[in-house]
Structure 1
Amino acid sequence: MKRVVLLMVMVFISVMSFAQDSSELMTQANAAVESKDFEKAIELFESVLAIPDHGQNVDNINAVLGQLRPAVAKTKASDAVDNKEYDKAIELYKAAIADYPDAGIEEQAGKMFYNEGIKSYKSEDFVEAANSFAIAQVEFNYEKAEKYKSASLKKAAEALVAEGKSSIDGVSVSEGNKAELKENLAKVYFSQGYEKYQEGAATIKDATDKVNAGSITTLDDEYKNAVAEGKKSFEQAIPFLKKALEIDPSNANASKVLAACEQSL
């Protein structure tokens, strides 16, 4: 009988010990939550659940863990974005979305990369801006980023043209943005060439209209100077049009305007 009583006392002491341990861990876990050390809090709450007969409210602990785990996952991913570790951030966000599909993580990820794009755009790093907007749009379905991505690529193309570049080689553009940047580059070169062509055509037309109206003749210096000025504009248009065709040989408009310029010289 004494042995049975002794065993019962030992079991009671053991249960009391587990309860004390879990109570202390709960206190530490709640303190970790208060200090926003959520990873430590998760570890402590999980330690409580691992204790047999811990005597704590399991539903409450699981409810708290249900908030802390996605919060920690979001923080790790956003920290990677802040550190410009974009590939790592995408991987972390994707994993978090899979683990916690109802935590709104996809929208946060889209906003994070969208905001990165805005910052890069404001600092005139248009290629980097386009890359960030593309991640927001393609990886996290953040539709608002699409038009800003396109605007960034146009600005990037204009900057390349200003530097006289007719290739995107060496440009740190993402794979998904390469085709659009190249297309924009050809468009900017064509636009500048076409603008010069229009200037030349307008100058010659104005002089021709005066001839037709009888105010001047083709022998007058005013007419001859206008024709010379128009041809100069055509000559200035040709390099731009050739670069447009170098980038995009299928550009029918560039071919047509180039032929018009060359024929007029």
Structure 2
Amino acid sequence: MKYKKIGNVLILDNNYQGNDFEELSQMHNVKTIMKIDHIQGTKREPVYQILYGSETETINKENGCLFKLDLSKVMWSKGNNNERLRIAKLVEDGETVIDMFAGIGYFTIPVGVHSNASEVIAIEINPNSYHFLCENIELNKLDNITPILGDCKVETPKFKADRIIMGYVKTTHHYLKVAIDSLNEGGILHYHETVPEKLMETRPIERIISQANGRDVELLKINKVKKYAPGVEHVVVDARIY
């Protein structure tokens, strides 16, 4: 059986057929058991089914960070935890960071906890996610994070940053120009994309170059996050833009 435990909520794989939910709840010490059918729309909202219990709000601890969330309202991707910590550890002292698709603070909170960034500007379009982003800033006692409720395309150009995180997939490439235009010279972009394996080494970096307006692009790393679908990888490209 595939499942993931998020705080004290158990998310079962959609293929799970059993009905021994009370036993499962005791075995895994959870108060609620759910299935999440899929995540929909640009606001990344879950389509879900509650199988046991009723409370969907929980606090999940990961990499020394606390994340409060409601799994009936916002998404949580457990497979990205190594990537979240990797990025936090790359941030250098005094950097200004923009997190363009901040959600509940998946990347923002680890950067705040594990680095000495001067400021993290966290932009999120979903009011539910934004609510928990603000709660998580408080929960982790962080004072260098500026949360913004709004559309990345509108809000990002108002700032300049040394590092920009684009931790979203599917349509992230539509936001590349906005991100690159807001990067300081020599700044670093962390660009996420879902890409066919055979195009993994070429398409993401080509997309960055095409939106760089003639600025020089240095590929630092292509990092595999996880398999997204058969033959498709979720990757993140680290690129320095001069």
TM-score (norm 1): 0.25
Bigger proportion of residues as helix: 1
Q: Using CA pairs below 8 Å that are at least 6 residues apart, which structure has the higher relative contact order? A: 2
- Determine which structure has more spread, i.e. the larger CA radius of gyration: 1
